[in-house]
């Protein structure tokens, strides 16, 4: 199946700093990527939809100025957590929708391995 | 209003068949049913997807009745490594109506020796 990578896989930062997380679709084009957040023992919560070449669409309650999303190419979306605080500590997962070519995985969403963010 | 409802947890033993049922009473005409598996500290992994009747792949089967208001994921002969959380999701995967995936609480499957 298609592969989605995330970098870094884990990060520890001080309160007040900004952290950038990258999400890449390695072998397919993804005009749409999604960012989720998952707290311990909870389900994934959709934060925003990242659209290549346009502004991201944020879910209700998610601060767009705090969670900056950039989708500058068909294979890369970045999430920047600005002025991170301990309550932002979570597992951040991206997924990419395969919109490159038709086929068995066309329009299927593939998930990255996640990024563990710990804010001290 | 929750789109899907699943049991919170299930227990099984190695070698048994496990069936996890998901309710999606408000499923729309263009919605597909997709199941994902998630291990701790990993991203969800696609298991199977279907629209109606039965779908089978190398790891699971998916049974969908005619009214499509529920679906059952069947895992044959589970092993310890199948211990994970299983999510049932419904959504439109067409080009014109593509919808975001909304995760419910999932089912925690625990397989014991």
Please state, in angstroms and as integers, the Cα–Cα distance from residue B41 to each residue in A17, A36, A38, A86, B101, following that order: 24, 13, 9, 19, 19
pLDDT one-digit tens code per residue, B48-88: 999 999 999 999 999 999 999 999 999 999 999 999 999 99
Closest CA to A96 of A43, A22, A41: A22
What is the percent of chain A with per-residue pLDDT over 70, rounded to a whole number?
93
Partner residue facing B103 (CB), from A43, A49, A114: A43
pLDDT one-digit tens code per residue, A23-40: 999 988 888 999 999 999
Please state, in angstroms and as integers, the Cα–Cα distance from residue A107 to each residue in A33, A74, A101, A103, following that order: 11, 14, 9, 9
| pLDDT higher than threshold 80 for residue B99 | no
pLDDT one-digit tens code per residue, B10-49: 999 999 999 999 999 999 998 999 999 999 999 999 999 9
**Contact across the interface for A114 and B42, Cβ inside 8 Å:** yes
Phi-psi domain of B43 (left: phi exceeds 0; alpha: psi -120 through 50; beta: other): beta
Partner residue facing B43 (CB), from A1, A32, A113: A113
* Chain B residue nearest residue A108, CA to CA: B93
Q: Does A58 touch chain B (CB under 8 A)?
A: no
Interface test with B, best of A7, A32, A43 (most B CBs within 10 A): A43
* The pLDDT value given to residue A101: 65
* The pLDDT value given to residue B69: 95
Q: Does A34 touch chain B (CB under 8 A)?
A: yes
* The pLDDT value given to residue A92: 98
Q: DSSP 3-state assignment of B109?
A: strand
- For residue A1, name the pLDDT band (cuts at 50, 70, 90): low
- For residue A104, name the pLDDT band (cuts at 50, 70, 90): low
Cβ-based contacts under 8 A for chains A and B: 50
| pLDDT higher than threshold 70 for residue A106 | no
Specify which residues A72 forms β-bridges with: none
Partner residue facing A43 (CB), from B42, B46, B106: B106
Please state, in angstroms and as integers, the Cα–Cα distance from residue B42 to each residue in A5, A31, A36, B22, B52, following that order: 12, 23, 12, 23, 29
pLDDT one-digit tens code per residue, A61-77: 999 999 999 998 989 99
């Amino acid at each position: 199946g298609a592969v989605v990578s995330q970098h870094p896989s884990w990060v520890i930062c001080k309160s007040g700093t900004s952290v950038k997380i990258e999400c890449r679709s390695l072998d397919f084009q993804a005009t749409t990527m999604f960012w989720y957040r998952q707290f311990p023992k909870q389900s994934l919560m959709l934060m925003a939809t990242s659209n290549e070449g346009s502004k991201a669409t944020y879910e209700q309650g998610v601060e767009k100025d705090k969670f900056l999303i950039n989708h500058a190419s068909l294979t890369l979306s970045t999430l920047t957590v600005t002025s991170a605080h301990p309550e932002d500590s979570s597992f951040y997962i991206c997924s990419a929708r395969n919109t490159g070519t038709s086929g068995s995985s066309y329009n299927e969403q593939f998930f990255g391995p996640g990024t563990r963010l710990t804010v001290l | 209003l929750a789109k899907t409802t699943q049991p919170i947890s299930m227990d099984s033993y190695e070698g048994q068949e496990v069936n996890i049922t998901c309710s999606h009473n408000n499923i729309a005409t263009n919605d597909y049913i997709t199941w994902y598996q998630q291990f701790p500290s990993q991203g969800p992994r696609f298991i199977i997807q279907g629209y109606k009747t039965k779908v089978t792949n190398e790891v699971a089967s998916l049974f969908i009745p005619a009214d499509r208001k529920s679906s059952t994921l069947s895992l044959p002969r589970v092993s310890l490594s199948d211990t994970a959380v299983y999510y049932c999701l419904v959504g439109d995967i067409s080009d014109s109506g593509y919808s975001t995936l909304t995760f419910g609480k999932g089912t925690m499957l625990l397989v014991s020796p």
